[in-house]
Chain A
Amino acid sequence: MTSDPGNQPAGPEQAPIDTDLHSATATSGPPVRDRFRDTGSAVLNAVVQGSPAVVTILAIFSALVVGALVIAFSDSTVLHAWNSFFAAPGRALSATWNSIAAAYSALFEGAIFNPHTISAAFHGGSVGAIFYPLSQSAAQATPLILTGLAVALAFRAGLFNIGAASQWIGGAIVVTYLGFAVSLPLVIHAIVCLIGGFAGGAVIGWLVGALKARTGAHEVIVTIMLNYIMYQVLNLVLGTPTALQLPGQANLTSPNIAPNAQLPHVGGPPPQVGVGFLVAIAAAAATWWLLERSTVGFEFRTVGANPSAARTAGMSVPRTWVLAMLLAGGLAGLSGAVAIQGTFYSLNFQSYGNYGFAGITVALLGRARPLGVVLAAVLFGALQAGGTVMQAVTSVPVDITFVLEGLIVLFVAAPPLIRAVFRLRRTERAGFGGAAKGWNG
């Protein structure tokens, strides 16, 4: 009754026919591994058996390969070269290689560093320019860290929060309003706005948790629907002059927030780090502490891993759901806050962007761990920063980064696939097998 098949897809070799007998066999687990094995063979073992980190790296590699093929074979030069493949096979291959190399090196230069800036620095150029790509990547990563945390935190409590986009809007609306309609001193204004953003997102998240706890409404459906409702709310408030619309404008955009509410950049341009990035890192650290070191997080993780055992141990499962969604919503709201306060200064559909949905991929790639989320967000932020440069330099559209993100996560989600492709030994169940269940709970 308490173990549903969706939760634990057992291999056919287990054959739990007679339940009584099965419990007898299942309890004799695998032998405990010898932990005093030498390091070299441990690394080899991790690679051959496909530990999560190895699978992630192979997934990224696979995605880059597929992405390269997509880039090359949507290039008209390459296609033309292949049309005359039998006449000049070398030309087809070199055209393919050139296309891929140009795109990926531009991507790298935009995301991490551009060798030209170093030689330029020797010839009187700015030293800071060397770090410009990295600061761009960090800026792109900032909102992603927070929406990624919003999805990851809920994940750890067993909830699939697809609604970071709606919670982002909830936060952003509050932030924008507080930002231009209220006048407060420096620092305080920015802090009030951050808190407001957290609260705005938390309200939307709370609604999801409360509906699930009280009525059993599946959080996935509710969050999907709230995404669109909040999108229309954004439409509404940005189109209403008495709400957020910039007066005297037909465009759907808000006024700029007051300078006091804006988050400054530290380090001085161009190698600069937005305070928003620091806020996001702090939020990741706080989330880590909450999840790994606090009683609240212990409850989240227990409910997420085994709600039945959590209940037996005296925890309140519905209360945990509500609190987890509230905090998750708050983090997504905070993402709205740092995006508005640190980057865009006004709310419109451009600043709304894609952070909520990208947060899902970030959380999945980061395996719902705060540190993993930060790394995944930085990776995706770098892809996006690099993608923008790549588009400018090679006219390969920046959308390839979404393809790469999707592919990476798809491969990470199916370790058996990666293991099969790379002929790794162990086969085990999927990476995200136990997180969410069917509509019926």
Chain B
Amino acid sequence: MTTLATEIRAPAATNRRMLAAGTFIAFGLVDILLFGLFSHPGDAAFALSLSGASVTVPTIRIAGWVPYIFGALSILIGIARATVITSPGLRRLAIAVVLFFFVISLLIWSDTGSWTHGIPVNVVTLLQATLAGSIPLILGALAGCMGERAGVINIAIEGQLLLGAFMAAILASTVGLWVGLIGGSLAGGLVGLVLAAFAIRFFVDQIILGVVLNLLISGITGFLYDRLMVTNAQTYNSGNTFSAVKIPGLGDIPIIGPIFFDSTIILYIAYAAIIVVQIGLFSTRWGLRVRAVGEHPTAADTVGINVLAIRYRNLVLGGLLAGIGGTYFTIGSVGPFGKDISSGLGYIALAAMIFGRWTPLGATAAALLFGFTTALGNFLGTITVPISPALLAMAPYAATIIAVAGLVGRVRAPAADGRPYVRA
């Protein structure tokens, strides 16, 4: 199989440079031809503090012609990408800058003119929404990293989020919020355990298994929702939520404070999880063993590492994280559970993990990017800009296809990912 796969893989690397350059230039042209030419007279306003904040930051005004400049710069970057930029760091920076220009141009265009009636774009609100919306993505993607780094594909992230959300809602209603948080986490861990048992013990194909578990959990939560929650909302689905906790000191910093340090406990757990999983995977004995198991289980076995134990443990630990991510949907934000409340975000978490190349930090960055497109789509929806939010909502998925097709750098999964281990 390996020979077959490598032989079929097309020489995408040769075209990548031109493709990237072309994409940058296309973005630049959109900046100019759409956001520039169709701009409206006047400035766009960007508010940088929430109403009623103790320390306010003055609103920034940007003229409607600025997208022209951004567009021109993007085209220049595109040309540079085709000619002089070679280092990986600069390449990534170029992507970031072009995307940034594009987004700002889009916002300028949408805020000048009649749609917003002069109401400024509130950057803080937008980024708050981004961060909050990214919580399940981040925790789900971390769960994915934990499993796949140890060599087990976890497509059941969606199910872990959903069951976590459900358990959190029901336990928060019947017992208490904190029990809901813990119960949601345990629900995710349970899914991880089932996944591990079927995949490791019964050798069931991991991808099929994940999909089936997702369908099953969707069915169970949907059933119990109709059966218990609809009729007895007060008892089982009261909609308790964690309130935001402002971190003393940090929370008062202008701009940064309200975005990063004035949120529910779940966001802070996510911060901790990112750090712990990143350091854990790449700087500890545990992580070294996990990665060895995911890359070359036989090698790990020959130096005395228990391959199967590591896989079980990682799937359960990852499930606990994804379960917490799921609790965000209910006790972390809207409160009551609803059918399929995770609405496929588990699959985006999977995409974020792949996009982030199986690293916690990369997955987090991808999750934030995906979260931002969602927040932006919601925002544009509220000001009735003539851009379909559906287009923005597609972006993360399209980006993932482009990534796995090898068009933006090679994405390589852990070598033993998805393969059951049987000692020789």
Binding site for B on A (CB under 8 A): 1-2, 4-7, 9-12, 15-17, 70, 74-76, 160, 162, 211, 213-218, 220-222, 224-229, 232-233, 235-236, 239-240, 307-308, 311, 317-318, 357-358, 360-361, 364, 396-407, 409-410, 413-414, 416-417, 429-441
Task: Establish whether residues A397 and B390, one from each chain, have CB atoms under 8 Å apart when the complex forms.
Answer: no
A-B CB proximity, top 8 nearest: A438-B418, A402-B219, A406-B216, A6-B419, A397-B226, A441-B5, A399-B223, A439-B413
Known: A12-B422, A406-B219. A433 touches B205 (CB 8 A): yes
Known: A6-B419, A240-B388. A218 touches B404 (CB 8 A): yes
Task: Establish whether residues B350 and A4, one from each chain, have CB atoms under 8 Å apart when the complex forms.
Answer: no
Can you name 7 A-B residue pairings with CB atoms under 8 Å? A2-B3, A4-B2, A360-B212, A399-B219, A406-B220, A407-B216, A440-B415
Task: Establish whether residues A402 and B222, one from each chain, have CB atoms under 8 Å apart when the complex forms.
Answer: yes
Interface residues as binary, B183-214 with A (CB distance below 8 Å gives 1, 0 otherwise):
00000000000000010011111011101110
Task: Establish whether residues B344 and A222, one from each chain, have CB atoms under 8 Å apart when the complex forms.
Answer: no
Task: Establish whether residues A413 and B4, one from each chain, have CB atoms under 8 Å apart when the complex forms.
Answer: no
Q: Which of B413, B422, B424 contacts A9 (CB 8 A)?
A: B422
Q: Which of B12, B202, B215, B350 contacts A430 (CB 8 A)?
A: B202
Task: Establish whether residues B223 and A6, one from each chain, have CB atoms under 8 Å apart when the complex forms.
Answer: no
Task: Establish whether residues B220 and A403, one from each chain, have CB atoms under 8 Å apart when the complex forms.
Answer: yes
Which of B19-27, B131-139, B276-284, B393-401 contacts the other chain?
Answer: B393-401
Task: Establish whether residues B215 and A4, one from each chain, have CB atoms under 8 Å apart when the complex forms.
Answer: no
Residues of the B chain whose Cβ atoms lie less than 8 Å from the Cβ of A405: 215, 219
Rounded to whole Å, the gap between the CB of A113 and the closest CB of chain B is 25
Rounded to whole Å, the gap between the CB of B163 and the closest CB of chain A is 13
Task: Establish whether residues B401 and A1, one from each chain, have CB atoms under 8 Å apart when the complex forms.
Answer: no
Residues of the B chain whose Cβ atoms lie less than 8 Å from the Cβ of A409: 212, 215
Binding site for A on B (CB under 8 A): 1-5, 8-10, 12, 153, 155, 198, 201-205, 207-209, 211-213, 215-220, 222-228, 232, 344, 347-348, 350-351, 354, 388, 390-391, 393-394, 397-398, 400-401, 404-407, 412-413, 415-424
Interchain pairs with CB closer than 8 A, number = 224
Q: How far is the CA of A213 from the CA of B1 in the complex (A)?
A: 14
Q: How far is the CA of A307 from the CA of B155 in the complex (A)?
A: 25
Q: How far is the CA of A434 from the CA of B419 in the complex (A)?
A: 10
Q: How far is the CA of A110 from the CA of B248 in the complex (A)?
A: 60
Known: A308-B1, A413-B212. A222 touches B401 (CB 8 A): yes
Task: Establish whether residues A5 and B420, one from each chain, have CB atoms under 8 Å apart when the complex forms.
Answer: yes
Q: Which of A74, A308, A438 contacts B228 (CB 8 A)?
A: A74
20 other contacts beyond A10-B422, A226-B397, A228-B344, with CB at 8 A cut-off? A5-B419, A6-B419, A6-B420, A215-B407, A217-B404, A228-B348, A360-B215, A361-B215, A397-B227, A399-B223, A406-B212, A406-B213, A406-B215, A406-B220, A416-B201, A430-B205, A432-B205, A432-B208, A438-B153, A441-B2
Residues of the A chain whose Cβ atoms lie less than 8 Å from the Cβ of B424: 15-17
Known: A399-B223, A402-B215, A410-B213. A437 touches B397 (CB 8 A): no
Q: Which of B207, B344, B390 contacts A239 (CB 8 A)?
A: B390
